[in-house]
A and B are shown apart, each in its own frame.
Chain A
Amino acid sequence: MPKTLYDKLWQSHIVEQQDDGNCLIYIDRQIIHEVTSPQAFEGLRVAGRPLADKHAMLAVPDHNVPTGADRATAVNAEDSQIQLDTLASNCQEFDVEYIPMLDARQGIVHIVGPEQGFTQPGMTIVCGDSHTSTHGAFGALAFGIGTSEVEHVMATQTLVLSRLKNMRVDVDGDLGIGVTAKDIALAIIGKIGTAGGTGHVIEFTGSAIRGLSMEGRMTLCNMSIEAGARCGLVAPDQVTFDYVMGRPKSPKGAAFEQAVAYWKTLPTDEGAVYDKEIFLNAEDIAPQITWGTSPEHVLPITGIVPSPDDEPDADRKIAMQRALDYMGLIPGTKLQDVTIDRVFIGSCTNGRIEDIRAVAEVVKGKKVSSNISAWAVPGSGLVKLQAEDEGLDQILIEAGFEWREPGCSMCLAMNADKLGPRERCASTSNRNFEGRQGPKGRTHLMSPAMAAAAALTGHLTDIREL
């Protein structure tokens, strides 16, 4: 029977099919960070359990790290520092490979894993972070887990899981100028909603997806959790193999050839059946902007702020009004007339080299609007070095951006980086929930190019008209 990519990944990791229908699934890799791992290590310690396979783990601090130039000496909030110190001491005690904050390789877990070749096609990869779906861009089954499951994987190298359903999102055709993977992701969420993928793995197919770089595919899979799907997938192809080749933890020489031969067997078989299929035309996708407090509150940049009066469902009407009140927006306002205060380039969604390049291309030789504070926070130390090598940092700095050190930064405001109350931000991150970027802060999600355009004009802007 023809199988989907997900079917193959699932079946190749079954340790045991339980009588109750669940499966014991082998986990090849686990990445850990400081926020969701301390209680898991503590659990092991209390039960006197060792790690099942320390080589299957990689640790890097990201959520809490300061991102200012003075990070080596910056005084962190006490609770942040405790989490960072706890990660370091746990990794020492359990002998887990740990990339410290001041190492050039440090960065956001979902940028570091692929960069180091820790992420490879065909694997199962977990992390105590919902954006672990990012790694599905390699054709790996990758998903976020809670801390109890982090501990379960640490102790057993497995998880008890029930099988998910197959969903295909096919995007065919050519993307318009100024339209990126982020816009595809937001357009999909706009179409199926934040629960549209619940219980499913989303495999992204079609010529527009095949045409994306690995960076773009990672952006897309990263956002699949915002559509409710724990995992996103793109079938591995030559673009994938080229990205993986030569990275520090990638297989080398004959082992690489052997691995590629296996990876080539993974794509979905002709005739395989999906439980649910969604089709989009790439040509129909305009640059997207969120207006509310859920990623599904999204519209093309040419749109206007919607009115609750036009919403027939009573509960949705209330939710919409609440979102508009929180965002301080009036129905009927053109999205392009909404002025902003801050710009945030970064996060595991859009903190990669391609994203920094996209911003540099837009702002080169221009100036950030005088009333805007614009930050660029590379997703890892290696992204930062690469950007500096290409002179992108200078382009951004000359335009008026602040060029910072790597970390999660203002995507979730667990560190000192946050929006002030009612500050409005053009952000390349992944969530616009209430308070996500700081208490009462207002987030508009968009692509790096769109955020760069907004930085120049001071209001939400259609990149195609700049």
Chain B
Amino acid sequence: MDKFIRLRAIAAPLPMANIDTDMIISQNHLKTIKRTGLGVHAFANIRYHDDGSEREDFVLNKPAYRKAEILVTGENFGCGSSREHAPWALKDFGIKCVIAPSFADIFYGNCFKNGILPIKLPQDVIDLLMDDASRGANAIITVDLELQEITGPDGGIVSFEVDPYRRQCLLNGLDDIGLTLQKKDLIATYEAKKRLSQPWLFKD
């Protein structure tokens, strides 16, 4: 997995609440057996007209934000489906960090598996960052995962919380399956006990 340590990038404002995973990547683009190539379809329903041309009013189509790597958005971002295609599409577009007042649980977890940092902050702080993100080409924000700090274009600093295990995985780009496999003996011990106490669960 890609590491996430420090990111200095353009932040795009997307001030909508309840952006669901269908909106991030619609069902007709789930029929892939790959993880890549979905960026062009991210937010398709609000990003393109019916004829496939770009909607000028959609933030990521505006010249200043085409290379945005940070999204500042509304509450309950990523609600709905468990499809990891949603963070895959964001990542493929180039988004590496999403900042919102709240996230849906499954989407939130899926982000970390893909090198995307989701940051939860109180609404009043989001309002300030939304202002920062509305400055077009000057909407440059720095997100530092090591320090757990966001620095706005004017140098104002906001700190944020993140789960220590997930932080560690992101900072080091760790393959968490590999980490868990190092605990094979612990898993085997648990399983052996369970075979005795709940034998009906095991086939062989």
Binding site for B on A (CB under 8 A): 15-16, 18, 20-22, 24, 26, 28, 35-36, 38-39, 42-43, 47, 49, 52, 55, 63-64, 77, 79-80, 82-83, 86, 120, 122-123, 128-130, 132, 143-149, 151-152, 155-158, 160, 162, 194-195, 198-199, 228, 230, 251, 255-256, 258-259, 262, 294, 315-316, 319, 412-414, 431, 433-436, 439
Please report the C-alpha to C-alpha distance between residue A149 and residue B83 in the assembled complex, in whole angstroms. 11
Which 8 residue pairs are nearest across A and B when measured between Cβ atoms? A148-B113, A251-B200, A146-B84, A144-B82, A146-B110, A38-B33, A79-B31, A55-B203
Measured CB to CB, the nearest residue on chain A to B109 is A146
The segment out of B4-12, B56-64, B139-147, B173-181 that lies at the interface is B173-181
A198–B104 contact, CB under 8 A? yes
A158–B180 contact, CB under 8 A? yes
Q: Which of B27, B30, B31, B34 contacts A436 (CB 8 A)?
A: B27
Q: What are 17 contact pairs spanning A and B, CB under 8 A?
A: A15-B186, A18-B165, A42-B33, A47-B177, A49-B177, A52-B187, A55-B203, A63-B30, A148-B113, A156-B177, A158-B180, A160-B176, A198-B102, A228-B104, A294-B20, A315-B15, A435-B27
B22–A435 contact, CB under 8 A? yes
Is B53 part of the contact surface with A, judged by Cβ < 8 Å? no
Please report the C-alpha to C-alpha distance between residue A28 and residue B79 in the assembled complex, in whole angstroms. 26
Tell me which residues across on chain A come within 8 A of B187, comparing CB atoms: 15, 24, 26, 52, 156-158
A315–B110 contact, CB under 8 A? no
A156–B180 contact, CB under 8 A? yes
Tell me which residues across on chain B come within 8 A of A258, comparing CB atoms: 199-200
A431-B80 in contact given A82-B31, A414-B28, A414-B31 (Cβ < 8 Å): yes
Measured CB to CB, the nearest residue on chain B to A85 is B33
Binding site for A on B (CB under 8 A): 15-18, 20, 22-23, 26-28, 30-35, 45, 74-76, 79-84, 87, 102-106, 109-110, 113-114, 163-165, 168, 176-177, 180-181, 183, 186-187, 190-191, 194, 197-204
Please report the C-alpha to C-alpha distance between residue A79 and residue B29 in the assembled complex, in whole angstroms. 10
Q: Which of A22, A198, A230, A431 contacts B165 (CB 8 A)?
A: A22
A434-B45 in contact given A146-B84, A262-B198 (Cβ < 8 Å): yes
Measured CB to CB, the nearest residue on chain B to A144 is B82
B76–A130 contact, CB under 8 A? no
Min Cβ gap B196→A in Å is 12
